[in-house]
Structure 1
Amino acid sequence: MSDHTTTALPPYSHELNWPENLVPFKVIDEDGSQGYPYPHYAWMRENAPVMRAATPGADVWFLTRYEDVRKALRAPKIFSSEVVTPVPITFLTLFDAPNHARLRKVVARAFTPKSVGIMEDRVRTIGTDLLEKMIENGGGDAVSDYTLQLSMATISGILDVPAEDVEKMKFWSDEIFTYFAQLARNAPGNDTAAESTRDFLAYLLNNLERLYREESEAVGGHIARMWKEGLLNDKEASELCSFMFVAGHDTTTLLMAGAFQQFSETPELLHRLRENPADIEPFVEELARFRGPIHRTVRKTTEPVELHGVTIPEGSIVRLMIASANRDHTKFPDGDTFDMDRDSSGHLGFGHGVHSCVGAPLARLETTITVELLTTMLERIELDPDHAIEYMKGNNISNGPNVLHVRLHSRDRSLVS
């Protein structure tokens, strides 16, 4: 990367000669045509690795090759995370140093090996109960019946949120994510997100008051004490809790759903992992590479950047396409194929650099236990032919199956109904 500037700008996405089976890649995926975006990514890596797309506000740039994305993630002074100034909401992904390091230190306490280890029995118990219910019904929606419930219960336990409030928390977390997208990425919003966000943050502050009074040993209690000691103000304390809840369940929900989907496509791996439990770890890492839920992260250039003969101007919004980078054949040969025997080290499924995923240990734990349960309790997982997979629309930071109906065959090879 250099600061050499040129005057010529590349054509916009909609001006490129896309193949007939692909509509031009858009910033906002209103019609869902980018719900399964990997064919788009493959074409962009080959034909437009530095691509420009038009929006009513400003141009948005996309980087899709592994080396370009990796280098940008490691250059926070050039590719700034503070795309909106001042930072409107205390989400770690919106901060540069020094505030990022200060706030990350607080959140990191949630995901130490000790903190995560304490959750293992809880994750296994809840996961077993959820999967047994699905088996009794012959299957169901892997997302709503299993992965979403498990991830919400886990992060709620870490934050010490009353069980009866979890459904309300889920609604609020969806709303604050919409609000966050409006502020940080000019994404479409709704009429209720701002008010719901205020309600959510007020609830979290009240919960911190309770945790402080009760001297809670949960991570929520730790945040409450830091707040009361003046190390965090009201805004930071409540918004950090909201960030942990949103980030702690959304991506893990999608990653675990990817395990159900993968076993439906490569059923022989259920038997292999059951016979060779040591192979579960490389399976999970390849899953994070191949079906990683974080598809993009947003940066703002602080100086002109030249890549592949194209100059991205200073002050440009750049989307680093992590999920595309993870399938780049130059880094991962035959990258559009799931291969748990490959060397998947260096994948960006849990981020990279200063903004690597602070919750990665918890995501790995939940996914590993889920894979263990699937391999020990099931003989086969099939996609339900009566229900199509519904993917999230492709303008989100995260992506993956939103609805994934499966049929589950228990270990006795019979379909329980």
Structure 2
Amino acid sequence: MTGCPVHFDLLDPAIQADPHAAYAALRQHAPVHRLDRPPMWLVTRHAEVEAVLRDAATFASDIGMDVPIMSMVMKDAPDHTRLRGTVNKAFTPRAIQHLAPRITAIAEQLAEALPERAEMVEGFANPLSVTVICEMLGVPLDQRDAMNRYARDALLAGFAATGMGPPELLAEARIGLDALMRILDAAIEDHLAHPRDDILGTLVQEEAHGTLTRVELRNLCALLLIGGHETTANLIASGLHWLARDAALFARLRAQPDLIPRFVEELARLLPPLQRIARRTTRAVTLGGTALPEGAMLMLFPGAANRDEARWPAPDTLDLARDNRGHLGFGTGIHTCPGGPLARLEARIAFEALLARLDGITLDPARKPQPIVGYAAGNLGWNTLPLLLRKRMRPVMVEDVFGALRALVAETLEIDAEDITAGTNAKTTPEWDSLGHMRILAAVEKRFGVKLPRLAAYRVKDVGELAALIETTQSQAGA
């Protein structure tokens, strides 16, 4: 590397794990910087990155490399126009919103099952995003784990095909990619035999009408897997890592869940999962004061552009009041990510499900998070994210009150639950003395999430009256 007083190596694990200091140095000293190996120009300021993304005539997406799974991403008009048109038919706002109830059900089920010491990538972020994309593509859920692996293989295959990885990497990734294509073929054939009104069904109809070839359809599905799974899972994991280090922000979002969409948008600005976008000049051009020849390879860094001091004040701060319109977390121009609305929806629902069930999260001091590094580091995120979860005690529903109270009294007084009836009281139960009564009331308020009226609580005569008081208090609180 020449002419820049900062070390920047695309394959440096330290930079891959946390690239922002290097990005800042490049923005300041060499916003359009020549890298010798591999030969390319690095573009890091917002103005230049946005200009390149919006000028498809001068900066082509077809960089002259055969990366089949990136067929739409690395195509220019007219092929890109045709392929993008088919995807737009499937990813309509109505189709995306139609997925919301199912995404909510998946997120809530995963959140409920989390232990207090949880690995949040494999325990939550990955299964949420891969389950959603499997259902969208009609892939059986028993192949969810395989799809998770194959998504990473597909990403590696795309990276290796650009020439930035060793040949053996491409050969290894190709095995998983071939297995992925067989799964997708089976899903496509099933949709042809049993037509369905879903996203894959819409794409399959495009093949039937001759708009797409089978190869293009499979490649689009593989691309949707990468974009719909890897990108979304990384966005969720990055948000959880941020919240684990910012208790005040966690508490604010829990108290004001209507701010979660703003949080997701700031995450997409600060920590966009896709960190690199390749382009090729179609003519000699000057960019940011730097003369570029025809055929020059450019590597754009939206993660650097989104923290440009010239575009936003205090750009490294997560500010829920910020006007972050114009950020490039999902690209811009004709190649704006079509799955952006789905990623936003999934992330919003994921954080809503978790915040409704947790009082706090922290990093697990016994296990260090592992960032994505190596040849998959075109994406910013985490391979593992061990957290400690402080679960919120859920209020018990009215119909469950007596059974739950019976168990609670038995546990508090250390007596047999089978001996407790509605008429059980202090006179029939030696353990239920004045101290025992106070312990029961304290346990009730914690377990049922209520604040009992003091005088009425002191006067209850038996378990039945206490259950009725709990029900009344819950009803008044919900009125």
TM > 0.5 between the two?
Answer: yes
Q: Structure 2 CA distance, aligned partners of 1:259 and 1:165? A: 27
Partner in structure 2 of residue 152 of structure 1: 130
Deviation at 1:89, TM superposition (A): 4.1
SS in 2 for 1:215: coil
Counterpart selection for 2:39 from 50, 59, 77: 59
SS in 1 for 2:338: coil
Q: Closer, same or farther in 2 for the Cα pair 1:369/1:33, shift >3 Å?
A: same
Residue 364, structure 1, aligned to residue 344, structure 2: yes
Equivalent residue runs for 1:133-172 within 5 Å = 133-134=113-114, 137-172=115-150
Residue 45, structure 1, aligned to residue 33, structure 2: no
Counterpart selection for 1:404 from 385, 398, 402: 385
Q: Closer, same or farther in 2 for the Cα pair 1:363/1:329, shift >3 Å?
A: same
Residue 35, structure 1, aligned to residue 13, structure 2: no
Question: Which aligned runs of 4 or more in structure 1 are off by greater than 6 angstroms?
Answer: none
Q: Structure 1 CA distance, aligned partners of 2:367 and 2:215? A: 43
Partner in structure 2 of residue 17 of structure 1: 5
Deviation at 1:385, TM superposition (A): 1.3
Q: Structure 2 CA distance, aligned partners of 1:203 and 1:266? A: 41
Q: Structure 2 CA distance, aligned partners of 1:86 and 1:297? A: 16
Deviates more, 1:301-310 or 1:335-344: 301-310
Aligned residue pairs total 392
The gaps in structure 2 that reach 5 residues or longer are 395-445, 447-479
Partner in structure 2 of residue 105 of structure 1: 85
Deviation at 1:308, TM superposition (A): 4.0
TM-score where L is the length of structure 1: 0.89
Deviates more, 1:349-358 or 1:308-317: 308-317
Q: Structure 1 CA distance, aligned partners of 2:70 and 2:216? A: 6
* 1:200-252 deviations in Å (ceiling 9; x for gaps): 22331232111110112221122222213322112111111111111110110
Q: Structure 2 CA distance, aligned partners of 1:142 and 1:198? A: 29
Partner in structure 2 of residue 328 of structure 1: 308
The gaps in structure 1 that reach 5 residues or longer are 1-11, 19-23
* 1:90-149 deviations in Å (ceiling 9; x for gaps): 532111111111111222233212211221111111111211222xx2131111110010
Q: Contact between 2:49 and 2:302, CA under 8 Å: does it hold in 1?
A: yes
Counterpart selection for 1:174 from 152, 159, 184: 152
Partner in structure 2 of residue 4 of structure 1: none
Residue 217, structure 1, aligned to residue 167, structure 2: no
* 1:180-202 deviations in Å (ceiling 9; x for gaps): 11223533424322233233223
Higher helix content, 1 or 2: 2
Q: Closer, same or farther in 2 for the Cα pair 1:88/1:124, shift >3 Å?
A: closer
Equivalent residue runs for 1:338-353 within 5 Å = 338-353=318-333
Partner in structure 2 of residue 240 of structure 1: 220
SS in 1 for 2:171: coil
Partner in structure 1 of residue 296 of structure 2: 316
**What amino acid sits opposite 2:156 in the alignment?**
T
Q: Structure 2 CA distance, aligned partners of 1:342 and 1:308? A: 26
Q: Contact between 1:41 and 1:64, CA under 8 Å: does it hold in 2?
A: yes
Higher relative contact order (CA 8 A, sep 6+): 1
Greater C-alpha radius of gyration: 2
Equivalent residue runs for 1:240-389 within 5 Å = 240-389=220-369
Q: Structure 2 CA distance, aligned partners of 1:357 and 1:185? A: 24
Q: Contact between 2:33 and 2:41, CA under 8 Å: does it hold in 1?
A: yes
Partner in structure 2 of residue 127 of structure 1: 107
**What amino acid sits opposite 2:9 in the alignment?**
K
Q: Structure 2 CA distance, aligned partners of 1:130 and 1:288? A: 23
Deviation at 1:160, TM superposition (A): 1.3
Identity of counterpart residues, as a percentage?
A: 33
Deviation at 1:165, TM superposition (A): 1.6
Partner in structure 2 of residue 205 of structure 1: 185
